[in-house]
Chain A
Amino acid sequence: MPTLMETVTMADWFRETANWVFLLIAFPTVFGAWRTVSSDNIVRAVLYLVVALGGTAAMFLMLGAAFIGWTVVLVYIGAVVILFLMGIMITRAPLGAEAKLSHGREVKVPAALLSGILFAVIAGSVVDAFGASIIRPFEPTLTTDLANVLFGRFIIPFEVVSFVLLAALIGGIVLARQDDVGGLE
């Protein structure tokens, strides 16, 4: 693991340029994620999702996982978001502001409370476990290595995933197909 136990002060933390880059990515990512769930307009929510996903991709690039970073850009931002937008346009969903997207206060307050507690617990234990470790800049993962692992040790999960996708494709067609109710042929 690329971690190293050392004592580190706040001033040390700010002296590192990588941390500034991290903040520059992290704040828009969190903001995008927050607006994705809080936005009343579904198209805007999807566009904020692009911001959040873009931030995630940048994080992967920072960690030296170039292949995964660009996969997020191509597959999630490129394909999935477009699918969302296409889906919204095709299904005659309301494009303007839609009040029904947001719940009332009686749902919002407990939900916020619960997520707040969950966040505190997770953040607290993550800081407890990794707070003192420093991630040194390390070698980027080569895509060749990734390919070797994917088609070597992880060949079974790789094959199984292709069956999941095949099943989803065929099942999706059957369920989405318009036909006489209950009818064959």
Chain B
Amino acid sequence: MFPLDYHALLPEIILAVTVLVTLVVDLTTRKKYLVALTAMVGLFAAFVPVLTLAFCDSLEFCAAAGVDRVLFGGSYVVDGYALVFKGLFIFAAFIALLLSIGYLEADRYYEGEYYFLLIASALGAVVMASSRDFVSMIVALELVSGPAFLLAGWRKGDPRSNEAALKFFITGIIALSLLLFGVSLLYGLTGTIQFDQIAVASMAVADLPLFTLAVIFVLLGFGFKVSAVPFHFWTPDTYEGAPKPVTAWIAVGSKAAGFVGLLTVAYLAFPGVTEVWGPVMWVLALLSMTVGNIVAIKQTNVIRLLGYSSIAQAGFMLAPFGAAAASGADSLSQVFAATVTYLVIFVVMNLGAFAVVIIIGSRVGSYEFEDWAGLNRYAPGLAIMLAVFFMSLAGIPPLAGWFAKFAVFQATIGVGNWWGYSIAIAAALNAVIAFVYYAKVLKPAFFDPVPKGVDVEALEAAEIPAPIGFALALTAFGVIVLGVFPGVAANLGQYTAQVVAALGG
């Protein structure tokens, strides 16, 4: 019925095989780093077909097929948008894996199964990027979250880890049931679950209150996943209690997957009814930015601070959605591109921030940033890295974060109505507030004396484990390159936005 396009599905197939091979390797060897190595080779191998698919037009063997490939009658699409995110997810999983290697060895918890679950979660994210109907998307979203729930509770002996997993699990299930309920209403109204068909069918039922309700349920379901306020309460506790590399994956991979869901559903399934979802997203964006930032100021723990900061960052990414409320089809692709650009930069800089925080935290033995006083006396390199990533998160040029914020301002103002202007003003105010707490972490590290009783020589002599050091170098390189050449991220954003522009016509 549907002949399979194996080239288009190759990244998924390679990852699926990798998931199974990690299990076999884990069974046959006691050297658990081999499992991690297998997983890394698999991720690397899966990245190759992403590239060949993206540059299909200029490659001899597949030029005929082109970049845009529609599979299964339109419910699974491999296009530029999907490929950018597949690449991004594979990159994020690769970094998360690098962060995990040293961490798990020190912690003495199960390792092989851990890598297996991490790759399974990454597979879900990769499938998610191509899903264009609700069944594929929700099932893929569960493959992202399911292993993440389990990984959050990996430190079985630590009650905080148990709490992290339980909170994450329960809120995740509530989100899923909201989402499914909304989808069932939508199916009843439109008679289809495929996004391109919903986009057409929804025009006829757009005036019904039930349609508004269904759309709100669906978006709120994703709101939990991206930890937008008021669905954020699980975030800080889960971030703090989960093993730190898992936190990095949840904060970046799982959140980006949630955003892919939001982007796909909002812009591809409901492009004609922006007046229904725009205002909802506007409120979510405003609340997420403001509440996330204000609560972040009071934090003393770096991980919790990153938790609230990521809530605020989610607000920035939601802002273009809010600006879409009253915008025409032509500016829709611009606001879409802004969110994608922000997301690409956010993934790189937030992973880097987690990498440096994990290194410093495990060396100092504390994640309270008051304990990091005098960091630049004994580890100047790490202190500079900390500054690089936190300044990038705050949005200071020439680090990548500034361009992410710039793209959001440009798109929201470019819409040219008060939905856009108001959210841009709110974003500007929040960017200033955000600077306060990012600077608060850096102040003790650079300007305070080393606390008494700290063995400075031991701290000086400690070495950065190679895998996590490599992750740090990769992300630092990314943050600087994306900051100095912001065109890279912007082009990715515009490239993905073609999928929306094609719709608007």
Contact = CB atoms under 8 A, between A and B. Distances in A.
A170 B156 CA distance: 15
Interface stretch (A36-44, A47-55, A154-162): A154-162
A81 B191 CA distance: 32
Contacts of B127: 156, 160
Interface in B6-32: 12, 16, 19, 23
B136 A170 contact: no
Interface in B375-434: none
Q: Interface residues of A: mostly helix, strand, loop or mixed?
A: helix
B153 interface: yes
A157 B205 CA distance: 28
B75 interface: yes
B2 A168 contact: no
Given A156-B127, A163-B123, A163-B143, A183 B116 contact: no
B1 A157 contact: no
Contact of A167 (B2, B107, B120): B120
Nearest to A172: B150
B120 A166 contact: yes
Given A154-B135, A157-B139, A171-B113, A182 B209 contact: no
B101 to A, nearest CB: 15
Contacts of B150: 167-168, 171-172, 174-175
B120 A163 contact: yes
Nearest to B121: A167
Interface in B98-136: 107-111, 113, 116-117, 120-121, 123-124, 127, 131, 135-136
Given A154-B135, A156-B72, A172-B150, A183 B124 contact: no
A175 B143 contact: no
Contacts of A124: 209
A96 interface: no
A160 B110 contact: no
A22 interface: no
Pick from B107, B110, B155 the residue with the most CB of A within 10 Å. B110
Nearest to B211: A129
Contact of A164 (B108, B113, B139): B139
Interface in B149-193: 150-151, 153-157, 165, 185, 188-189, 191
Contacts of A1: 191
Given A148-B1, A153-B2, A168 B157 contact: no
B213 A121 contact: yes
A84 interface: no
A86 B107 CA distance: 34
Contact of B210 (A128, A157, A172): A128
Nearest to A126: B210
Q: Is the interface of B mostly helix, strand, loop or mixed?
A: helix
Interface in B33-85: 72-73, 75-76
A163 B73 contact: no
A183 B108 contact: yes
A152 interface: yes
Nearest to B73: A153
A182 B72 contact: no
Contacts of B19: 163, 166
B23 A160 contact: no
B93 to A, nearest CB: 14
A157 B156 contact: no
A111 B2 CA distance: 49
B504 interface: no
A172 B76 CA distance: 30
Contacts of B120: 163, 166-167
Contact of B117 (A122, A159, A167): A167
Nearest to B2: A152
A160 B111 CA distance: 23
A23 interface: no
Contacts of A175: 150, 153-154, 156, 165
B142 A181 contact: no
Nearest to B142: A164
B12 to A, nearest CB: 8
Contacts of B212: 125
B134 to A, nearest CB: 10
Contacts of B140: 157, 160
Contact of A170 (B117, B131, B155, B205): B117
B208 interface: yes
Interface of B: 1-2, 12, 16, 19, 23, 72-73, 75-76, 107-111, 113, 116-117, 120-121, 123-124, 127, 131, 135-136, 139-140, 142-143, 146-147, 150-151, 153-157, 165, 185, 188-189, 191, 205, 208-213
Given A129-B209, A154-B72, A163-B124, 18 more contacts: A121-B213, A125-B213, A126-B185, A129-B188, A152-B2, A154-B75, A154-B135, A155-B72, A156-B131, A160-B123, A160-B127, A167-B121, A167-B146, A170-B117, A175-B156, A182-B155, A184-B109, A184-B110
28 contacts: A125-B209, A125-B210, A130-B188, A152-B2, A152-B72, A155-B2, A156-B131, A156-B136, A157-B140, A160-B136, A160-B139, A161-B139, A164-B124, A167-B146, A167-B147, A167-B150, A168-B146, A171-B117, A171-B150, A174-B113, A174-B150, A174-B154, A175-B150, A175-B153, A182-B108, A182-B155, A182-B156, A184-B108
